[in-house]
Structures are given as structure tokens and as C-alpha cells.
Amino acid sequence: MCKSSDAGSPASERGLSHASLGLALAHDCGPPYTPRPRAQQHWEHSCCSISKLERALANPDITAIEADIMVATEEQAQLLRKLGDRPGSLPIMAHPSPFSAAVPDTDLSFLEFLERCVSDGTRHLKLDFKQLAAVEPCLELLSERWAQLHANGQAVWLNADILPGPNRRFAPAVPSHAFIPLCRRLCPHAVLSLGWSVGPIGPEQVYTEADIAEMLKVCKEYSLPGNSVVFAASVRFAERQIAVLDRLLDALPDSQLLLWTGTGELPIPPALQTRIHLELAIKGRSDRIGYDVQLANSNMDHCASTLIDCTFFFSRWTRWACSCCVTSISMEHDLSRPIPGQIAGDRSPHADPPLRT
């Protein structure tokens, strides 16, 4: 019989809901079930070095640690193996650079990261996979330590940007059809944290209805229960259309929403987080939304974040105005042209353009 979480354990103190504890007691077969924590956690973001991980583990206020995972180059792998890592495909803790395709240098392998976190035993873990090749070796290591993680009351989020998103409308590095089956097979009781790849620069500034529909389609395809899913979304792309993301919570009961700021992204004003939270609280969602965000806590931070947010706002309306002008000119041009004949290959001027492949 599987072990179940004790309501008086440190896991309860870190925010495991009563509903989730009830689900844990209901599981009497299969791998040990660790209930999903409550949405509100105190996060340490992108712990991709030994020094940053040590600081996070030494901070009693931190309840959850997020870290990014890539595959080491051969040179990096050789160096880390000399320090005791096992042979084979070597996952490392590293965040990809926006300016280079090269794997960043790191002094922390996934194996050491996991061992230190399990030894500490008091923080939940969110593993953000940046390359598909890193997923399986990590999950194999994770499954070997699942019993200890469960005994500690440590939950694990398995995160990937599985769908194209705003300003990144191309195939993601970790697609859903590869990621979800691996997670279900190797770590079936881990929480799935599913998101969209996004780009900071481009014409799009919000998640669309189509983005939401595609995510719900994935959840339906794999019959994912809401209590095993957290939707991860960029706070700056979410805040202008938070009602669109609320559709996810409505369509998949018991699911959660986690809003984040990315590595290197400027912090957001605390007032923005408050506004989002109030908007969702009115709909009864306050216990289903969490924040892994950097907040502006100095005058310089406030000025920088305000500048970024104003740039988002004004560029949005500038593009809208330009789009209207272009559309108006295009329509006048089309009206001045004769209607094309019914010749094979002709297209109506009002037909959709051909899809790019």
C-alpha cells in the first residue's frame, strides 16, 4: 500500500490543501502520491548554480524552488563526471541565453541539485525543461528518489512550454506529444505545469482565445485531471486579458494558474499583482492562482517596470492605429480592382491567405 501524507507533517505547514490530502489518502496503489501544494508559494526563481541554490535552501521564507534544465555539452559533461556524476546523457541546471544558442556554463548538475533538495527536504520543486533531450534522464533520476520526496512531503512540478505562444508561433522545444507521455510514464504523480513559449519582442501582447483552446485540447487529449495541472503564463502577457486565462480554470476544475516573470525580466509593480488577484478573487479563484514573479521594491525598479509597461501599452495602440490605416488603404485598393475571373489558382481578395509552412 502506498504511503499517505500526514496532515500534521511539514508538508501541511507548507500549504497542502485538505482536498489534496483527501486525494492522497484515496490512493492505495501505484507510486506514492504527493498532493499538489496550494497555489500561493514563496518562490526562488532560476536556481541554476550552487551558490544560488545554497542561498535558497538557507532562506526559511522560501517554500518552492524553480530551476531550468538543459543537456550538458560533452566538455561540461566530462567536467561534471569528474566531480561524481554518473555517465550517460547529463542534464544540468542552466537557462538558455537569449543571445546565443550555446549551452551556458554551470557548476550544478541536475543530480546534485536533486540530491541537495531531497537532503534539505523542506522545499517543493519546479523543474523547467528547456530541451526535450533533458526530460527522460531527469525523470528517471526523479523516479528513483520519489519515495524520499514523498516522505518529505515535497511536491514536484514538471514544467515545459508545450505550445506556441505570443511572438513565438513556431514549434516549441518541448512539445506536448513528447513531454506529457514521458511524465505520465516515469513520474505519474508529479504535477504537470504547462505553458506557452513567448517572445518579449513582437506584435502580440496577450494570450488569445486560440491559445486557450489549444491548451484545453491537449488536456482533453491526455485526460488530465485538474488536480494534476498548473497552467503557467507570463504575467505581462496575461494581465491585459486575464479573463481569457480564467477560461482555463473554469473549463478544468481544480486546476491552478501560475503567473511568472522570466529570468532577466524586469520586475512588475506590486499594484499590478494586486489588481490581477482582485480580478480573479471576484470570480472565486483566489485560492487557485500563484505568483512566481519579481516585484519592484525600489524606486529604480518601479521606474524601470513602469517604462516597460508603458512601452507595452503605447506600442499596442500604435500598432492598432497603423493596422487600421493599412487595412483602410488595402480595402480602398481592393475596391478599385476588378473582381478576378474564375481561373484555376485565382483567390478571392477576401479569402484567407495561404498558411505558411
Look up the pTM and report it.
0.77
Q: Check if the beta carbon of residue 195 is closer than 8 Å to that of residue 204.
A: no
Mean pLDDT by 10 residues, the chain (357 residues): 37 42 38 74 94 97 96 78 62 81 80 96 97 96 95 97 97 97 96 95 92 98 96 95 95 97 89 94 95 85 69 50 42 42 38 37
Which grid coordinates belong to 46? 532560476
Instruction: State residue 263's pLDDT score.
Output: 86
pLDDT of 114? 97
User: Within the chain, how many helices (H) and strands (E) appear?
Assistant: 13, 9
Judge whether 160 and 117 are in contact, CB under 8 Å. no
Cβ contact 292:325 at 8 Å: no
Residue ranges of domains in the chain:
38-312
The number of beta carbons lying within 10 Å of the beta carbon of residue 234 is 22
pLDDT at 56: 97
* Domain 38-312 top-level CATH class: alpha beta
C-alpha cell at 140: 528517471
pLDDT, position 97: 73
pLDDT recorded at residue 305: 66
Name the DSSP letter for residue 194: E
CA distances from 64 to 45, 95, 120, 292, 352 (A): 9, 18, 12, 10, 46
CA 270, CA 253: separation in Å to the nearest integer?
Answer: 28
